[in-house]
Amino acid sequence: MAVVVNPGLDRSEPPSSVLLPDQLPPARSFTSRPHPYTGTLRSLITTTTTTTMAPPRRRDDDNFLPEALTPPPSLARTPPVIDYCSGRVAAELSWPQTHRGHVAKQPCPPGTIGVATYTCVMGYWDPKGPDMSNCTSPWTNHFTQRMRSGETAAIVARELAEQTKTAVLRPGDVPSTVRAMAQLVELLDVQLRNLTPGGKDTAARSLNKLQKRERSCRFFIQAMVETVNNLLCERAQPAWKALSVMDQLRCATMLLDTVETAAFMLADNLLKTDTIQESTDNIRMSISAPPTHTHTHTLPLWKNTGF
């Protein structure tokens, strides 16, 4: 503490800026007791006190962190919520502004039929792109109508093979063609039942039906193998890539199941032990009839005598 005495002041009367001892505020308690007042008038006293606040120390024992090291809540901002997907052009179609969580729908591009969809996910478009799996060529509906009318399955299968050989496949043509092949197998099964020899058929007529069954299956298998080859060629890759992964797996699985079912149908209708081989660039098939296979039980060569 520094004490300054001004000699120019009259000591008989204290200055107005100096407080008398009985006017001073009570002294604060300190660690050491202050000296008692002696009654002597002191001159002007100027006291300068500087207080410095030290920052709190970090204590590892109770994981205490000083407040200055903790980022203020205002800095931890959440990203802004975008309510709409901006309009854009994708897959040859113009998509309008769409609210998040909604699905935009547009007619398929020229030359195809159906509806394409595009999902707005939380303010941004689906990274997978538009769903074009429902965009098909007009000829797919033509084959569907022919199957419903009950035309011969083997003939329709042959025309389907020729169509897929030259046509530009759209994304929806792949699943539509695979479904058509599965429906053709079911149609062939129904038509083969109509060629089953009956009890009233003669031996020659029964043999004729069995030969027609075998020829229909052979003709059908040849057409189906060509159709599968057309779907797996390099020209069809853009149509496959436009499908989602789940649609690709679904189509591939159905394609294998359909070919396998048709192969078993042919094996069951071979009249003699034989091996049929069909080979293309993308598929090879070998069908063998089991040696124990026989159709003699279907021929009405004798009558039941009860023994």
Q: What is the CATH number of the domain that holds 91?
A: 4.10.1240.10
**pLDDT at residue 293 greater than cutoff 50:** no
Is 46 part of any domain? no
Question: Does residue 293 share a domain with residue 156?
Answer: yes
pLDDT in tens, 228-258: 999 999 999 999 999 999 999 999 999 999 9
pLDDT in tens, 139-182: 999 999 999 999 999 999 999 999 999 999 999 999 999 999 99
Question: Does residue 211 share a domain with residue 104?
Answer: no
Residue 9, pLDDT score: 47
pTM over 0.85? The answer is no
Residue 298, pLDDT score: 42
Instruction: Provide the domain limits for residue 222.
Output: 138-298
Question: Does residue 167 share a domain with residue 285?
Answer: yes
Which pLDDT band, with edges at 50, 70 and 90, does 4 fall under?
A: very low
**pLDDT at residue 50 greater than cutoff 60:** no
**pLDDT at residue 39 greater than cutoff 70:** no
Closest by Cα among 160, 161, 158, 140 to 216: 158
Q: What are phi and psi of 21, to 5 degrees?
A: -60, -40
Measured CA to CA, the distance from residue 196 to residue 199 in angstroms comes to 10
**pLDDT at residue 130 greater than cutoff 60:** yes
Question: What is the average pLDDT across 53-71?
Answer: 52
Question: Does residue 243 share a domain with residue 208?
Answer: yes
Query: 64 with 58: CB under 8 angstroms?
Result: yes
**pLDDT at residue 74 greater than cutoff 80:** no
* Other beta carbons less than 10 A from residue 286's beta carbon: 10
* Other beta carbons less than 10 A from residue 197's beta carbon: 19
Side chain identity, residue 6: N
Question: Does residue 192 share a domain with residue 104?
Answer: no
Is 293 part of any domain? yes
Residue 304, pLDDT score: 42
pLDDT in tens, 249-292: 999 999 999 999 999 999 999 988 778 899 999 999 999 877 65
Q: Name which residue leads in pLDDT, 25 or 32.
A: 25
Rg, the chain, Cα only: 48
Query: 115 with 89: CB under 8 angstroms?
Result: no
Question: Does residue 154 share a domain with residue 96?
Answer: no
Is 22 part of any domain? no
Question: Does residue 156 share a domain with residue 253?
Answer: yes
Measured CA to CA, the distance from residue 247 to residue 128 in angstroms comes to 13
Q: How many residues can be counted in the chain?
A: 307
Q: Name which residue leads in pLDDT, 217 or 11.
A: 217
Please, what is the Cα angle at 141 between 140 and 144, to 5 degrees?
95
Domains of the chain: total = 2
pLDDT in tens, 175-187: 999 999 999 999 9
Question: Does residue 240 share a domain with residue 95?
Answer: no
High-pLDDT (> 70) share of the chain, %: 68
**pLDDT at residue 63 greater than cutoff 70:** no
Tokens of 176: 């539509």
Is 213 part of any domain? yes
Beta bridge partners of 284: 279
Question: Does residue 238 share a domain with residue 175?
Answer: yes
Tokens of 283: 């598929």
List alpha helices for the chain, DSSP H: 138-148, 153-166, 173-193, 203-232, 237-241, 245-268
Please, what is the Cα angle at 221 between 137 and 173, to 5 degrees?
15
